[in-house]
């Protein structure tokens, strides 16, 4: 975990910074490594940019008011506002997007980045997803 001074940054500024960090990691390492190596290097870059983040954040699932420990983990949560899900797959598939959207519904964030490092040009492996789901009887969920 790292505490930085990015509290006043807009969501778009934070996302730009995250993508810049991911591009730097990909430019330096290239494709073909394990997800854990990219995560470690991305955390280094996020720290160098002064961004607050937590890694491998436990995500409990609630079922009928019972919290289940199913072992779900968020790769990274930046500024308690943006979930980052890292991949090293041949091609992003709809199941990867569904996974991130589910995380966005279960964790109080509305924006997530799906980043696949196993591509020749990183911009081809980045997807920004937004959770539009809101409970009608409750106020919108905010991170933090």
Q: pLDDT 10s digit of each residue in the chain, 144 long?
A: 444 444 567 888 999 999 999 999 999 999 999 999 999 999 999 999 999 999 999 888 878 888 887 778 999 999 989 999 999 999 999 999 999 998 998 888 889 999 999 999 999 999 999 987 554 444 444 444
2 class by beta-carbon count within 10 Å (0-12 exposed, 13-18 middle, 19+ buried): middle
What global pTM score does this model have?
0.81
Let me know the angle formed at the C-alpha of 105 by 103 and 106, rounded to the nearest 5 degrees: 65
């Amino acid at each position: 975990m790292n505490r930085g001074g990015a509290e006043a940054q807009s969501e778009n500024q934070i996302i730009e910074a995250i993508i810049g960090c991911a591009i730097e990691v990909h430019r330096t390492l290239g494709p073909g490594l394990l997800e854990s190596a990219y995560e470690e290097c991305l955390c280094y870059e996020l720290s160098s940019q002064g961004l607050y983040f937590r890694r491998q954040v436990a995500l409990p699932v609630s079922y009928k008011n019972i919290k289940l420990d199913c072992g779900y983990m968020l790769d990274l949560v930046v500024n308690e506002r943006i979930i980052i899900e890292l991949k090293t797959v041949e091609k992003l598939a709809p199941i990867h997007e569904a996974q991130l959207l589910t995380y966005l519904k279960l964790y109080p964030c509305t924006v997530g980045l799906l980043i696949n490092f196993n591509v020749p040009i990183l911009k081809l492996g980045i997807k920004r997803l937004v959770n539009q789901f809101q409970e009608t009887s409750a106020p919108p969920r905010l991170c933090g």
